A and B are shown apart, each in its own frame.
Chain A
Amino acid sequence: MTAHSRTSREASMTIVSAERMATIFVEVADTLVDDFDLMDFLHMLTDRAADLVSAAAVGLVLAGRDGRLEFMAGSNEDVKLVELFQLQTHEGPCQEAFRTGVPVINVDLTEASDRWPRFAPRATAAGFQSVHAFPLRLRTQVIGALNVFGDTKGGDFAGTDVPVMQALADVAAIGLLQERAIRRGELLTEQLQGALNSRIVIEQAKGAVAQATGLDVDEAFAAIRGYARRHNRKLTEVAHGVLSDPAMLAHIRDA
């Protein structure tokens, strides 16, 4: 390897500084207070994960009944992207990371159509070149996966990025536990189902805002999230409000 190629190779790597990591984990710890909102938390994690490794998009899926993967949160929620995450209920890096409990790293999507005949071409068509997936683990159980898409060729994950992203995935799983309430083994199952339903509420709210404003559903989500931030409200609460309180819907429309 020549000096020049080594330099350019290193430039494309995304080695995460200890300082940035520390900042993120402090933010996470701050978020996990008594009445934190899981949807806010998961969106924050996908945003930070995308920033950390300069990913084009990061999404998080959770397993519903019998291992069906459901989209929960993304660093952006483009409709096409959400479809890509959902598609992985059948095949794709999330499905593999979920099934095996082992991260899927540095897969070049342009060469992955044998491995994932439906997923790889759709992901490439959406403008992605590389993909990674990390299992969401709780003790011996795998409950979902964190999916990282790159718009550069595969192989842009440096060795040190892998444990960092896995740590974020582990933190996401911990967030789901809401540890203060863990007294019964059934509780995780109850919480997962509650979380999956919260995701549905957000989709319904996107539709309501899109209809009221004339925005598309992606813009509608940005409007809902913006409103929640400006008013220091929880995302799930605002989504419920949009669907039950015409005044809140009007407020977002006129914002």
Chain B
Amino acid sequence: MQAVDDRVSYLRNLILRRAPGPDGRDDLLRRVCDVAARELSASGAGISVMTEDGIRAVTAASDPASERLEELQSMFGEGPCVDAYTSRRPVLISDLGDLMAKEGGRWPFYAPAAHADGLRAVFAFPLQIGAAHLGVLDVFRDRAGRLTATEFADALTFADVTVTALLDRQEQAESSGIVDIDDDAAEYRAELFQAQGMVMVQLGIPLGQAMARIRAHAYAENRRLSDVTRDIVARRLRLDRDGPQPGGSP
């Protein structure tokens, strides 16, 4: 899996090295959109962050046209982004014109409006970890055609990077990747998710926050995420209610 990990690092570095914009706010998300658009041969990309009731809270886009395509979805309350969020899986539309001809009932308002704007293919990726779902990454193209297998895998990586950025921002942790707490211990990934559920109940906080707290603890202690989660599942470590604190069990 070395090649996969190299590719992930490569994409992460592209995002981190990209020059920040003038405004600064939500800039990491805009950079993800820029790099995603370029790497996925797309005309643009956008990120919508949602609350549990499906209301869009924040957005980032690579360009004004993509921002409009995002806004059309929240305006009409329908579209690939909405479907990806509620179905919790990617929505891959490689030919919007074909979809309108064959499934006219799907997105009766969004599809024609977006098509009139020049949209021909759209791919929406949920920003989620299990039951914690934060929003959607949309990839827009002005020509029909599928994502290649590599582009699809890359898009999932962009979605992962976005989730991580959103989680770390919740805890105001350093998200620029100075301390690399992530690793590829595939066999321990089950524990990562179990630890999330445990911390959620233990601290009485939402699942997404639980993940953010675990990551913040790993950052603060300069430990691998897999080590921290293994200790949590083994009940050797309890996170403190008030924030990342040093130390294991009392």
Which residues in chain B, 75-91, are within 8 Å of chain A measured between CB atoms? 87-91
Which residues in chain A, 73-108, are within 8 Å of chain B measured between CB atoms? 79, 82-84, 86-87, 89-90
Overall SS of chain A's interface? helix
Which residues in chain B, 91-105, are within 8 Å of chain A measured between CB atoms? 91-94, 102-103
**Distance A90 CA – B1 CA, assembled complex (angstroms):** 7
A249-B201 contact given A82-B190, A86-B186, A89-B1, CB 8 Å threshold? yes
Interface stretch of the complex, out of B18-26, B29-37, B191-199: B191-199
A87 touches B130 (CB 8 A): no
Place the interface of chain B in its size category: 35 or more
Place the interface of chain A in its size category: 35 or more
**Distance A249 CA – B199 CA, assembled complex (angstroms):** 14
A65 touches B153 (CB 8 A): yes
Interface stretch of the complex, out of A22-30, A124-132, A185-193: A185-193
Determine the chain B residues whose CB is within 8 A of the CB of A86 once the complex forms. Answer: 186-190
Rounded to whole Å, the gap between the CB of A178 and the closest CB of chain B is 12
Number of A-B contacts (CB under 8 A): 124
B156 touches A200 (CB 8 A): no
A207-B130 contact given A86-B187, A190-B91, CB 8 Å threshold? no
Determine the chain B residues whose CB is within 8 A of the CB of A117 once the complex forms. Answer: none
Determine the chain B residues whose CB is within 8 A of the CB of A82 once the complex forms. Answer: 190
**Distance A90 CA – B88 CA, assembled complex (angstroms):** 27
B186 touches A204 (CB 8 A): no
Proximity string of chain A (1-23) to chain B, C-beta cutoff 8 Å, 1 when within and 0 when not: 00000000000000000000000
**Distance A83 CA – B66 CA, assembled complex (angstroms):** 42
Rounded to whole Å, the gap between the CB of A33 and the closest CB of chain B is 19
A87 touches B186 (CB 8 A): yes
Q: Closest A-chain residue to B123, C-beta based? A: A186
Rounded to whole Å, the gap between the CB of A138 and the closest CB of chain B is 15
Q: Closest B-chain residue to A85, C-beta based? A: B187
Overall SS of chain B's interface? helix
Rounded to whole Å, the gap between the CB of A249 and the closest CB of chain B is 7
Residue among B157, B189, B207, B233 with max Cβ neighbours from chain A (10 Å) = B189
Partner of B196, one of A191, A193, A194, A204: A204
B90 touches A189 (CB 8 A): yes
B197 touches A186 (CB 8 A): no
Q: Closest A-chain residue to B194, C-beta based? A: A207
In the complex, whether A211 has a CB less than 8 A from a CB of chain B is yes
A194 touches B193 (CB 8 A): no
A204 touches B188 (CB 8 A): no
Proximity string of chain B (187-231) to chain A, C-beta cutoff 8 Å, 1 when within and 0 when not: 111110111111111100001000000000000000000000000
B190 touches A197 (CB 8 A): no
B4 touches A65 (CB 8 A): yes
A203 touches B197 (CB 8 A): yes
B89 touches A66 (CB 8 A): no
**Distance A183 CA – B188 CA, assembled complex (angstroms):** 36
Determine the chain A residues whose CB is within 8 A of the CB of B146 once the complex forms. Answer: 185-186
**Distance A83 CA – B92 CA, assembled complex (angstroms):** 32
Partner of A189, one of B152, B188, B191: B152
Partner of B131, one of A65, A89, A206, A240: A240
Q: Closest B-chain residue to A197, C-beta based? A: B88
Partner of B195, one of A89, A207, A240, A249: A207
Partner of A66, one of B4, B189, B199: B4
Q: Closest A-chain residue to B150, C-beta based? A: A66
**Distance A71 CA – B186 CA, assembled complex (angstroms):** 10
Residue among A83, A200, A217 with max Cβ neighbours from chain B (10 Å) = A200
B189 touches A211 (CB 8 A): no
Rounded to whole Å, the gap between the CB of B147 and the closest CB of chain A is 9
- Write 16 A-B pairs (CB below 8 A) sorted by A numbering: A66-B3, A68-B1, A86-B189, A87-B186, A89-B1, A185-B146, A189-B152, A190-B89, A190-B91, A193-B90, A197-B126, A200-B131, A206-B194, A207-B193, A207-B233, A243-B207
B residues apposed to A, CB below 8 Å = 1, 3-4, 87-94, 102-103, 126, 128-132, 146, 149, 152-153, 156-157, 186-191, 193-202, 207, 233
9 shortest A-B CB distances, which residue pairs? A207-B197, A194-B89, A200-B130, A203-B193, A207-B194, A208-B197, A186-B92, A86-B187, A211-B201
